[in-house]
Every structure is written in structure tokens, then in C-alpha cells.
Amino acid sequence: MNNQNFRPVILTIILYAVLALVFTAVSMVSRPSGTLVGVLRPLDEIPAHVFLLAAGGLALGFLASLGLRRFDIWLVILIPSVVVLTDLDHLPSALGLVQAVRPVHSFVFLAVSFVAVAMIIRRLDLSVAVMSGFFAHLGVDTGIFPPLSPLSFSYYHLGPFQVEFLAAASACALAAGLLGRRRTR
């Protein structure tokens, strides 16, 4: 186990979660009236959905390890964490608060997260791993999402793009592993 990655990976997970909560809060106050409002998925469906998200993230963590050419427990932890934490934007619905639909499922959020991890954690491989987890989440989700939230609350269906999102997630996982290997040389 490579313990030198413990701290940056845990900090990346915390940073991603904090950004997701901030983004959700911003969208709650910036959403125009008439915006689609999110509802919580039925409680009996949540464990299966979280399991599916985590399983996909684990597979991508192993794929990233292939790019790294060695097993890296921290990539296997980071990517599924990001996949699951992307649903933190459902928290207001769980608390009974009105919120816009899926504000963290936004390319604006992805860009902010990527830059924040790159600048604060200073690890491009971890930024790309975050991208992998984000795209994996979109590849598993169905329904609608706001690709430019909180700048725009226009919604698009995820379904037609699931294959592309999963391909992007896989490519980013491999790239994260390759960047990690290059960094450790």
C-alpha cells in the first residue's frame, strides 16, 4: 500500500464533497422560479443505486491501476468515492428542502472540481481521476441533468449519452493511472 497517497486522496475526497455541497447551496439560491425541482428517489431504491455507482467506480479504480501498472488502493478508493459523492446534490431533497434538479451533475461543477484539485492538491492525476468518477456517475444515471448549472438551468436527458460518458470515464481512469505512473518516475 502506497501511504504517500493517503493524504492527497483523502483531501481530494473532502474537497470534492465540500464543492458539491457549496454548488448545491449556490444552485438553491440562484435557480430561477419555474426551474425543475428535485425529489428524492424512493428509499428502497437508494442502496441498489449506491451499490451500482460504487461498483462502477471500483472497476474504474482498477482500470486506473492498470494504467499505473500496479495496484493502487488509493485510486480504488478515490474514484468510487467521487462517483457516489456526486449525489450529494440530493441532500436538500432528503431534508425536505426545495432545490433544482441535480446541480452537481454539471460540466461547470466538473470544471471547478478539476481546477480546484489541480490547484489545491497539486496532482493532475487526481484531477483526472475525479473526472473519471464524475463521468462514471453520469454514465450510470438516467433522467435529466443541467449541464451548465448554476449558469443555466436548461435540462437534457442523460440516456442518449451514457455510452459516451462511460467511455470518457474509462479513458480518464486510464489517463489518471498513466499520469500517476509518470509522476512517480
Q: Which three cell numbers stand for residue 68?
A: 499505473
Output DSSP code: residue 100.
Answer: B
Share of the chain above pLDDT 70, in %: 94
131 lies in some domain: yes
Confirm if 165 and 178 have CB atoms less than 8 A apart: no
Provide the residue range defining the domain that includes 107: 3-31+42-184
Radius of gyration of the chain from Cα atoms? 16
Q: pLDDT tens digit string along 111-144?
A: 999 999 999 999 999 999 999 999 999 999 888 8
At 53 the pLDDT is 92
- Confidence check: pLDDT of 1 > 70: no
Q: pLDDT tens digit string along 148-173?
A: 999 988 899 999 999 999 999 999 99
- Per the structure, the count of domains in the chain is 1
36 lies in some domain: no
122 lies in some domain: yes
Confirm if 82 and 133 have CB atoms less than 8 A apart: yes
156 sits in which H/E element: strand 156-157
162 lies in some domain: yes
Q: Distance between CA 124 and CA 119 in Å, rounded?
A: 9
Q: Which three cell numbers stand for residue 38?
A: 428535485
Whole-structure pTM value: 0.92
At 112 the pLDDT is 98
